[in-house]
Amino acid sequence: MRPLSRKISPTRRFAQNAIMLIAVNLLMRTVGVSFNIYISNRAGGEVMGLYSLLSGVYTFALTLGCGGINLGTTRMVADTLGKLSCDGNTFGLDDDCRGVIRRVLSRCLTYSLILSCATGFVLFVSAGYIGRVWLGDERTVNSLRVLALTLPPIALSSCLSGYFTAVRRVSRNAAVSIIGQFARIGLCAYLLSFMLADGIEGACLALVLGGALSELVSFILSFIAYEIDKNQYLKKPRKDMGGESDSLTRDLLGITVPVTLSACLRSGLITIEHILIPRGLKKSGASWAAALSSYGVLSSMVLPVVLFPSAFISSFSGLLVPEIAESNAASDSARVARISEKIITPALIFSFGVAGIMSCFSDGLGMVLYNSAEAGRYIRMLAPLIPIMYVDSSVDAVLKGMGEQVYSMNVNIADALASVILVWILTPRMGLYGYIVTIYFTEILNTTLSLTRMLTVSKMRISLWRQVFGPLTAVLGVCCLLNMVLPFILPLLPLKSTTAQLVFSISAAAVLYVAVLPLVGVVRKSDVRLLKSIVK
């Protein structure tokens, strides 16, 4: 059998996939943040707060309904490729390898369908009790019932997404994500146009319905992409699977069950946290509407802006799982250490730059995006935490790729438990500032424990100057310089609007930061040569 596609080097393929994912994630997040701005300006902070309140319960149901299937599928397929020495583009032209991959996918899809349908049924039946008793707001009941219907298509889409990630055909995921996001925005905007008249409950239900329909669209597209891929690359499995079928099931459950149990425990704690925050704010002296509004500002308006640039980091992190899984399956510890260093170092360099720039221009971001000084103040408060938040996703990717997902989930459970305790204690006394203190404590705890474990198992070496103090020095110097010179430069430029001035200032800060990095010894000549080779 002749090759179905031209073989390319792993480095080039990784670079192509990473560049594609970065572009897609940036587009997705830009559209998502823009849509949040549109919703907040049109429907108000109380709607965003009610939607955030719903998200706690929905996240728990989604965690249980998906059952860790994305990671399970990625690991199962990647381990198979590594053990059988198959190539992700053609599966090594080995019919047996293709047959195993197809059997793995069949088992993963069956697992996700059964679990998601069962979870969706329970959520639909119990929506009334959850909305009225747990959330304490009757307006959430109908939205919860709609959200229950989205669990099966999301779980199946997550399974197929894990497959495409493992075989390095991320263009399928990218296309589905883009179309699904635009479908969500169009449907939500359309439904909101005539359901907003029904008040806050109608506005929230419009957002939920639009999201539900867009998830159905995403699943249909994912399934079509998989059918095309299957006909091109995967041979039909042998009818006699025997004990091999049982082995696939055991392997899948060995990955997904510990992750699911741990994730459900953590998600349940997060759900409790989401419920406690507005109640704590109310106890601090705010009305229920004001509590929902303040919560909505921080969770649905500020945090998406703070996390927006992490698209660069998350793109590489998602691709790291199969890369490290294959190296780990082949017992190539040296390659695991190299991959870990090459992702953690850029993540830290990038995140320190983002933290400094957001802190420097937080007031402008709050006013330009949301016309809210309160949002700008919260952005400035959370900006110093950005390096810790960003690098944590990369560390988790390394740990999951090495089979340390149970440890990661245990850390996440401890993180969530600490969040619940601190929210319960601090928000009634300190208001929203108590929640910000909670975010700081738990993010630092999570990243410290995860990073320590990653350094132990990956044998990665650290360089404090290159990874921490050098980028910090560079960004502080750039921000101090711009604070001194921009008040004199901006009036001389033909930039009349506040938005144009903010874009110019942030762009200047980014360019200067990149230019200073080689001067302080953070970026080396070998890094520049590697980047040039990847681009070529």
* Helix (H), strand (E), coil (C) string for 375-416: HHHHHHHHHHHHHHHHHHHHHHHHHHHCCCHHHHHHHHHHHH
Where is average pLDDT lowest: 190-204, 282-296, 492-506?
Answer: 282-296
pLDDT higher at 230 or 177: 177
Mean pLDDT over 13-26 rounds to 70
Tokens in use for 257?
């069950």
Residue 208 near residue 143, CB atoms below 8 Å? yes
Confidence of residue 320 (pLDDT cuts 50, 70, 90): low
Where is average pLDDT lowest: 291-295, 303-307, 513-517?
Answer: 291-295
HSE-up of residue 370 (Cα within 13 Å, Cβ side)? 29
Mean pLDDT over 276-288 rounds to 80
Q: Which residues, other chains included, contact 239 with Cβ-Cβ below 8 Å and sequence gap of 6+?
A: none
Residue 123 near residue 31, CB atoms below 8 Å? no
Give residue 513's pLDDT.
92
pLDDT higher at 146 or 96: 146
| Highest mean pLDDT of the ranges 47-51, 354-358, 429-433 | 354-358
Mean pLDDT over 55-79 rounds to 83
Identify whether 2 is part of a domain: no
| Highest mean pLDDT of the ranges 47-51, 243-247, 374-378 | 374-378
Identify whether 308 is part of a domain: yes
Tokens in use for 371?
């016309």
Confidence of residue 34 (pLDDT cuts 50, 70, 90): confident
pTM of the model: 0.71
Give residue 117's pLDDT.
93
| pLDDT value at 99 more than 50 | yes
Q: Which residues, other chains included, contact 36 with Cβ-Cβ below 8 Å and sequence gap of 6+?
A: 48, 300, 301, 304
Give residue 473's pLDDT.
92
Residue 408 vs residues 98, 205, 263, 325: alpha-carbon distances, Å: 31, 35, 10, 15
| pLDDT value at 295 more than 70 | yes
pLDDT higher at 98 or 459: 459
Give residue 15's pLDDT.
65
Confidence of residue 240 (pLDDT cuts 50, 70, 90): very low
Identify whether 506 is part of a domain: no
Give residue 380's pLDDT.
92
Q: List the one residue out of 337, 306, 314, 336 whose CA is nearest residue 324.
A: 336
Full residue range of the structural domain in which residue 144 is found: 10-462
Give residue 510's pLDDT.
92
pLDDT tens profile 378-409: 999 999 999 998 888 888 878 877 777 778 87
Give residue 13's pLDDT.
65
Mean pLDDT over 292-299 rounds to 78
pLDDT tens profile 469-491: 999 999 999 999 998 998 888 88
Mean pLDDT over 153-172 rounds to 84
Q: How many domains does the chain have?
A: 1
Identify whether 209 is part of a domain: yes
Residue 33 near residue 305, CB atoms below 8 Å? yes
Confidence of residue 258 (pLDDT cuts 50, 70, 90): confident
pLDDT higher at 173 or 151: 151
| pLDDT value at 129 more than 50 | yes
Tokens in use for 463?
């360089």
Identify whether 516 is part of a domain: no
Give residue 530's pLDDT.
59
**pLDDT, mean over the chain:** 80
Identify whether 477 is part of a domain: no
Q: Considering the chain, what percentage of its residues have pLDDT values greater than 90?
A: 17
| pLDDT value at 278 more than 80 | yes
Confidence of residue 178 (pLDDT cuts 50, 70, 90): confident
Residue 437, judged by CB atoms within 10 A of its CB (0-12, 13-18, 19+), counts as middle
Q: Which residues, other chains included, contact 261 with Cβ-Cβ below 8 Å and sequence gap of 6+?
A: none
Give residue 88's pLDDT.
47
Give residue 527's pLDDT.
65
Mean pLDDT over 256-261 rounds to 77
Residue 358 near residue 53, CB atoms below 8 Å? no
Confidence of residue 251 (pLDDT cuts 50, 70, 90): confident
Question: Helix H segments across 85-169?
Answer: 95-129, 141-149, 151-166
Q: What type of residue is 111?
A: Y
Mean pLDDT over 292-309 rounds to 81
Residue 142 near residue 200, CB atoms below 8 Å? no
For residues 325 and 362, give the distance between their C-alpha atoms in angstroms, rounded to a whole number: 39
Give residue 292's pLDDT.
75
For residues 501 and 496, give the distance between their C-alpha atoms in angstroms, rounded to a whole number: 7
Q: Which residues, other chains included, contact 8 with Cβ-Cβ below 8 Å and sequence gap of 6+?
A: 16, 89
Identify whether 197 is part of a domain: yes
Identify whether 496 is part of a domain: no
pLDDT tens profile 52-66: 778 878 888 888 888
